[in-house]
A and B are shown apart, each in its own frame.
Chain A
Amino acid sequence: MARMKFLLDAERCIECNACVTACKNEHEVPWGINRRRVVTINDGKPGERSISMACMHCTDAPCAAVCPVSCFYTTADAVVLHDKDLCIGCGYCFYACPFGAPQYPRLGNFGSRGKMDKCTFCAGGPQADNTQAEYIQYGSNRLAEGKLPLCAEMCSTKALLAGDGEIIASIYRERVQKRGYGTGAWGWRTAYRETVAI
């Protein structure tokens, strides 16, 4: 089985937000919830970079570690998913997540924030693959259809890569060697405790 990862090449991201739109549309993500977002740092200054960020599907995921009801699980492809039928909406995963991935349908209402929602790596949830029940709760399950996450698949500059960690790391490595520079795989050390060696 592959170890699925996201890799964002900040030298290529043009902040078009197509990944965000693709994700929203593919999974019919409700208003107010962003499974993926593009953050621009040093905006308008030298060293400006845009980074598309979603759940990184961490090794030893902090969300799973702090969840009071143990609703997280890791698939054979190392995708971190959660069971919305078990989630109590306590918000602990959001406090622990380094990437701000967990999202909640409600902001306040006495802390009853609704079931947490986050990027599924287009791999659905614990329901049977590609059923209506799975789609309503988690969105489409492209992985079960043999496809990769839509955000990366339709990235026009191929800044966002998704797939087997070894393969996307080698693509990135080749790019860096060819063009001679690169700021590295954003968040990899935090998420996977490793970096792309060039």
Chain B
Amino acid sequence: MKLRILGLLAALLIGAAAPAMAQTAPRAPSMAEEMEVQALLRGGSIQGRISIPDEKAATLIQPEGREWREFHNVTLAWVGGIAVLGMLAVLAFFRLSKGRIPIEGGAAGRTIQRFNVLERANHWMVASCFIILGLSGLNLTFGRHILLPVVGPEAFTAISQWGKYAHNFLAFPFTLGLVVMLLIWIKDNIPNARDIAWFKAGGGLIGHGHPEAGRFNGGQKMVFWITVLGGAAVAVSGYLLVFPFFFTGMEGMQLSHIIHSLLSVLMIAAILAHIYIGSIGMDGAFDAMGSGQVDLNWAKQHHALWVQEEMAKGRTAAPPPGAKASGAD
């Protein structure tokens, strides 16, 4: 930044002295050109007038492209690589050091309904979209280094082309699913004091105690808000990218890409942890989104307050018509 300011000052000084010099001796044109460019660059890119309809073509030189290239090739590759591989390493460490988290006292054999059909269907719609969106997105940054040498250029182009179509079109069910998630789960995901206690106790993964939690514990609420808020930001920036130059100019497109890709790799890392704890990381957890019926002991271990609430509902619920008290016969 300092260098740039110095350059501008030099440009102004030399620019003022130039007309006098031009009459006598050839000034260094390379210098003068760069100075002129520098002076013009004060406003960023060099804009001119053009006689064709494409307004973007009126930009003669856009230096921001260099920064975007640096971001795409260096920053994003590092952030994405560290986020995704780092998270996988952390999860592998957990698996090896802690093993699979068991249900305390073993399975009760009795189950309790945790997620209904709508909740599960919506979850898997978002999840399947997310996996394809994530893989096709990662492919755009890392595919040429990892997949291209393996499958060859033609096959890689075919994969990337279909990945791009899938990425563009699955954005819509993904966004719809996020809205549904927000509507059906927000009431159980308002952060409260119990979440702080839950995090202080180290949560379900690190801690040994089992802090009481309602329907969703602090970690799950975090996943919910990462999905909803992160997903919203990724969706908005993604729609700007999928309709190129409809809503914004060059800087807007570059910025959209930066926001979209950075948030996406961070979300991928977060969701990897979510997938781990919901599948191989913990006994009994997958049932919640699989059959929707979780083991009662699992539920008591992780969501004691929720179980109490559900049980209370059961006690006060009206008996089905025609039901007879047991032992009445």
* B63 surroundings in chain A (CB, below 8 A): 98, 190
Main secondary structure of the interface of B (DSSP, over half): helix
- State whether B154 touches A96 (Cβ < 8 A): no
The reply to whether B65 and A98 contact each other, CB–CB distance below 8 Å, is: yes
Which residues of chain B in 228-244 are interfacial with respect to chain A, using CB atoms and an 8 Å cutoff? Answer: 241-244
In the bound complex, residues from chain A placing their C-beta under 8 Å from that of B168 are 110-112
Q: List residues 130-180 of chain B with CB under 8 A from any CB of chain A.
A: 139-141, 143-144, 148, 153-154, 156-157, 160-161, 164-165, 168-169
**How far apart sit A91 and B73, CA to CA, in the bound complex (Å)?**
15
Determine if A186 is an interface residue (Cβ-Cβ < 8 Å): yes
Q: Which residues of A contact B246 (CB under 8 A)?
A: 107-108
User: Which listed residue, A34, A38, A97, touches B65 by the CB 8 Å rule?
Assistant: A97
| C-alpha spacing A89/B160, complex, angstroms | 10
**Chain A neighbourhood of B245, CB < 8 A:** 107
Stretch at the interface among B40-48, B109-117, B191-199, B311-319: B40-48
B98 at the interface (CB under 8 A from A): no
Contact A90/B140 with A38-B51, A39-B50, A176-B26 known, Cβ cut-off 8 Å:
yes
Q: Contact check, A197 vs B30: say whether CB atoms are below 8 A apart.
A: yes
Given A41-B48, A86-B153, A88-B157, do A184 and B244 touch, yes or no (CB 8 Å)? no
- Cα–Cα distance between A148 and B169 once the two chains are bound (Å): 44
CA distance A5 to B88 in the complex (A): 47
B56 contacts chain A at the CB level, 8 A cutoff:
yes
| Chain A residues positioned under 8 Å from B49 (CB to CB) | 39-41, 43
A66–B72 touching, CB < 8 Å: yes
Q: Residue on B with the closest CB to A32?
A: B54
Residue in A17, A88, A195, A197 with the greatest tally of chain B CB atoms within 10 Å: A88
| B212 CB within 8 Å of chain A | no
Most buried by B among A42, A100, A107: A100
Over the window 52-70 of chain B, the binary record of Cβ atoms lying under 8 Å from chain A Cβ atoms (1 yes, 0 no) is: 1010111111110110110
Contact of A69 among B23, B68, B69, B144 (CB under 8 A): B144
Cβ of B32 and Cβ of A183 under 8 Å apart? yes
- How many residue pairs link A and B with beta carbons under 8 A? The number is 176
Give the CA-CA distance A187 to B256 in the complex, in Å: 27
Q: Please report which residues of chain B, range 274-298, place their CB below 8 angstroms from some CB of chain A when the two chains form the complex.
A: none
Q: Is A3 an interface residue (CB 8 A)?
A: no
A195: nearest residue on chain B (CB-CB)? B30
Interface size on B, residues (CB 8 A): 64
In the complex, the answer to whether A85 meets B157 with C-beta atoms within 8 Å is: yes
Tell me if B264 counts as interface (CB < 8 A to partner A): no
Decide yes or no whether B322 CB sits under 8 A from chain A: no
**Cβ–Cβ contact A91 & B244, under 8 A:** yes
Also in contact, A112 and B58, with CB within 8 A (given A88-B160, A196-B30): no
Q: Contacting B154 at CB < 8 Å: which of A34, A68, A85, A110?
A: A85
A180 to B49, CA, bound (A): 28
> Quick check: is B22 within 8 A (CB to CB) of the other chain?
yes
Chain A nearest CB from B163 CB (Å) reads: 8
Closest Cβ neighbor of B145 among chain A residues: A70
**Closest partner residue, chain B, to A196 (CB atom):** B30
Chain A residues engaging chain B, CB cutoff 8 angstroms: 17, 20, 32, 34, 37-43, 51, 53, 62, 65-71, 83, 85-92, 95-100, 107-108, 110-113, 176-177, 180-190, 195-198
